[in-house]
Amino acid sequence: MAATAPPSRVTRAGGITGNRTVFAIACGLMVLFLLVPLAHNGYLENLVRGVLMFATLAYGWNMIGGYTGYVSFGNVVFFGLGSFTSAALWQHFQQQNVLVAIVASCLVAVVFALVFGIPILRLKGHYFGIATLGLSIAIQEVIANIDWLGGGSGFTVRQIEPFQIYYYAMWGVCAASMAATFFVARSKFGYALVAIRENEEAAAILGIDATRMKVLAWAISGMMAASAGAVFAGANGFVDPPTAFAIDNNVFPIVMTILGGVGTAAGPLVGALVLTAINETLWTHFPQIHTLFFGAVIVLVVVFLPRGVLWLLSLRGGIAGYLASVKAYRV
Amino acid sequence: MSAILEVRGVGMRFGGLHALSDVTFSIEKGSVVGLIGPNGSGKTTMMNIISGVYKPSSGEVLFGGKRIADVPMHDVCKLGIARTFQIVKPFANLTVRENVAVGSMYGRTGSKRNSAQSFARAQELCEIVGLARVADKNASDLTIPDRKRLEVAKALALDPDVLLLDEVMAGLNATEVDEALQLLRDVNARGVTLIIVEHLMKAIMSISQSIVVLAEGKKIAEGKPHDVVASSAVVEAYLGSRFARRQEELAQTKREAEEAARVEPQ
């Protein structure tokens, strides 16, 4: 009977989790990343830990911006809160356990997402983006003025031995975010988020409580960013407001998600890898003006790859098909 | 027969515009009711009020004796009310089957279904409305008639008691209209009350048991299809007062002529 035919929901880019082969390759990459510390190459380890951190942030952004369609310009606020939670645990409670820091940061993120999400996620579309931008700037200032949290001068975090622990912790939060994205996206909850993205009114008519779903999505998004922040604080050994709320940590994850593929389970990791590679190459060749080239790369990506590099794989019709698809994103 | 839906003195203002004023009618359980009127007469506004998208400025809507004005939009379907949108609202980047499945995942009975059961139900509904052949296509790739079918399938996925259909037959050819009418009769035969907004008079005359006519936000007629279209108020609303007067005069002349003819032989 046709009714029992399995739904082909993962065969298309732009589907609920994106291309399945690409996701399998991304999983393979993650396994390879496990081997990096064995090389005892400090530069490589730092670089890949950076990729994993940005990928985690990108997964966080993807949940609210990619799946739910609510573009957040302030997800760094969760990263900052996670960093400071982790740092405060060491400073005030001599707690160095990375796992404890991650769990505590997630709790802080959830409380924050519920308290602020319920009012600002009632706003539709762009207003949410503006509200999150304001929120991240405001929270940075608030923390800079609380002495208990180090004030403007920040905290030192004593690092634990061996240092590779932070690498594996970052790998862990990234892998968890990737798995969470995959399973959330395929669940009933994931379909509700996509329905909200596609048409919020039509979603509501089908019985989806949009505000509740959006707040939940933002809380999950925040947990991902906060756990990346918690590990970063330990790995970095020092946290102050400008580091924890750095503009890079806000903008890069968005560009990476778009570059890899918005609303897919592999996109954020692929995007983080590609963008870090581009950034690193430009930085080594053009140390003075690499940000200029980097800015140009971002513009080119948005104009010519509106749905990311993975989307190219699913295109049919060669150059003509590509041009037609790009034009579909022009106003 | 008892009234499943009662609209009592409903008015709706948008700034200075009175989209609806003091509209009252009630709908029997299991019936098919046509809601007609010229463009801008308030039909879609009425649909939006019944489906919880708008809160009426005055009056109230009772569903099974309960006020629905205070029910949030996402809970209206849990009462048993489903609707389609005149300007279709598909989830463009999901397949047709996924679109319908979202309805069966949530809606009135969704909490009882898991993801796989929702997809199976969606497949059944795609077959019922004639979308099985395009079930794996993205909703954005559908033709207009198929988009209308998708709206109906999504609404049916909510297992409604009352289904509001906002111009689902606009843009269909004669054969497609017949198919759509058959589908609606089948749905109605399963006990679903239908409220149909439509411009296609032939279609609405053939399926409705009663018709409510709106013009400029007011109810101007209500009753059996043939009585309603014969009413001079309805003719006036659609074709203007001069036409209505001429019709009246023509009828008057005809009556006089007939009377004269009856008198003459004596």
Render pLDDT for A268-280 as a digit per residue (tens, 0 to 9).
Answer: 999 999 989 988 8
| Cβ contact B119–A7 (<8 Å) | yes
What 8-state DSSP symbol labels residue A159?
A: P
Interstrand relation of B210-215 and B218-223 (parallel, antiparallel or unpaired): antiparallel
Q: Does B80 touch chain A (CB under 8 A)?
A: no
| Cβ contact A8–B136 (<8 Å) | yes
What 8-state DSSP symbol labels residue A1?
A: -
Partners of A264 on chain B (C-beta within 8 Å) are none
Report yes or no: B53 and A201 within 8 Å, Cβ to Cβ.
yes
| Mean pLDDT over each residue of chain B, to the nearest integer | 86
Count Cβ–Cβ pairs < 8 Å, chain A vs chain B.
Answer: 107
Residue of B nearest to A193 (CA): B102
Structure tokens at A304: 């010519």
**Enclosing H/E stretch for B165:** strand B162-166
Q: Does A215 touch chain B (CB under 8 A)?
A: no
Report yes or no: B135 and B97 within 8 Å, Cβ to Cβ.
yes
Model confidence over A204-222: pLDDT tens digits?
999 999 999 999 999 999 9
Residues 6+ apart with CB under 8 A from B212: B25, B33, B34, B35, B36, B219, B221, B222
Residues 6+ apart with CB under 8 A from B161: B4, B29, B80, B81, B191, B192, B193
Q: Does B82 touch chain A (CB under 8 A)?
A: yes
DSSP codes of every residue in A281-331 = HHHHH-TTTHHHHHHHHHHHHHHH-TT-HHHHHH--SHHHHHHHHHHTT--
d(CA A255, CA A296): 12
Those of residues 35-74 in B touching chain A at CB distance below 8 A are: 51, 53, 72-74
Report yes or no: B27 and B193 within 8 Å, Cβ to Cβ.
yes
Per DSSP, chain B holds a count of helices (H) and strands (E) of: 10, 10
Neighbours of A160 (CB within 10 A): 13
Instruction: Identify the pLDDT of residue B264.
Output: 67
Residue type, A204: A
Q: Does A183 touch chain B (CB under 8 A)?
A: no
Q: Which among B46, B49, B57, B70 has a CA at the least distance from the CA of B11?
A: B57
Q: Is A174 exposed, middle or buried (0-12, 13-18, 19+ CB in 10 A)?
A: buried
Report yes or no: A323 and A330 within 8 Å, Cβ to Cβ.
no
Q: Which residues share a beta bridge with B166? A: B197
- Which ipTM value was assigned to this complex? 0.82
Q: Which among A213, A178, A185, A183 has a CA at the least distance from the CA of A16?
A: A185
pLDDT greater at residue B1 or residue B36: B36
Structure tokens at A326: 């790009």
Among A206, A307, A314, pick the best mutation site for testing chain B contact (most B Cβ within 10 A): A206
Would the pLDDT of B77 be above 70? yes
Q: Is B86 exposed, middle or buried (0-12, 13-18, 19+ CB in 10 A)?
A: middle
Residue type, A39: A
| Cβ contact B90–A199 (<8 Å) | yes
Model confidence over B191-211: pLDDT tens digits?
899 999 988 888 888 899 999
Neighbours of A21 (CB within 10 A): 13
Report yes or no: A133 and A238 within 8 Å, Cβ to Cβ.
no
- Min Cα distance B244 → chain A (Å) is 40
> Which residues of chain A carry a pLDDT beneath 70?
1-15, 314, 316, 328-331
Would the pLDDT of B3 be above 90? no
- Min Cα distance A205 → chain B (Å) is 5
d(CA A231, CA A222): 14
Nearest CB neighbour to A205, from listed B77, B97, B114: B77
Those of residues 147-166 in B touching chain A at CB distance below 8 A are: 154, 157-158
Chain length of chain A: 331
Q: Is A167 exposed, middle or buried (0-12, 13-18, 19+ CB in 10 A)?
A: buried
The CA distances from residue B51 to B67, B82, B194, B195, in Å, are: 12, 7, 13, 11
d(CA A221, CA B98): 24
| Cβ contact B93–A207 (<8 Å) | no
Partners of B90 on chain A (C-beta within 8 Å) are 198-199, 202
Partners of B51 on chain A (C-beta within 8 Å) are 205
Q: Does B108 touch chain A (CB under 8 A)?
A: yes
Report yes or no: A76 and A241 within 8 Å, Cβ to Cβ.
no
Report yes or no: A204 and B158 within 8 Å, Cβ to Cβ.
no
pTM beyond 0.95, yes or no = no
Among B49, B74, B97, B165, pick the best mutation site for testing chain A contact (most A Cβ within 10 A): B74
- Min Cα distance B43 → chain A (Å) is 18
- Long-range pairs of A291-300 with CB within 8 A, sequence gap ≥ 24: A298/A255
Nearest CB neighbour to A206, from listed B53, B106, B132: B106
Nearest CB neighbour to A191, from listed B105, B127, B157: B105
Report yes or no: A60 and A267 within 8 Å, Cβ to Cβ.
no
DSSP codes of every residue in A40-76 = --HHHHHHHHHHHHHHHHHHHHIIIIIIS----S-TH
What are the start-end ranges of the E strands in chain A? 155-156, 238-239
Nearest CB neighbour to B91, from listed A194, A204, A263: A194
SS3 B4: strand
| Cβ contact B74–A5 (<8 Å) | no
Phi, psi of A238 (to 5 degrees): -155, 140
d(CA A217, CA A203): 15
Instruction: Identify the pLDDT of residue A106.
Output: 95
| Cβ contact B123–A188 (<8 Å) | no
- Min Cα distance A117 → chain B (Å) is 19
Instruction: Identify the pLDDT of residue A208.
Output: 92
- Min Cα distance B146 → chain A (Å) is 17
Instruction: Identify the pLDDT of residue A169.
Output: 93
Report yes or no: B211 and B34 within 8 Å, Cβ to Cβ.
yes
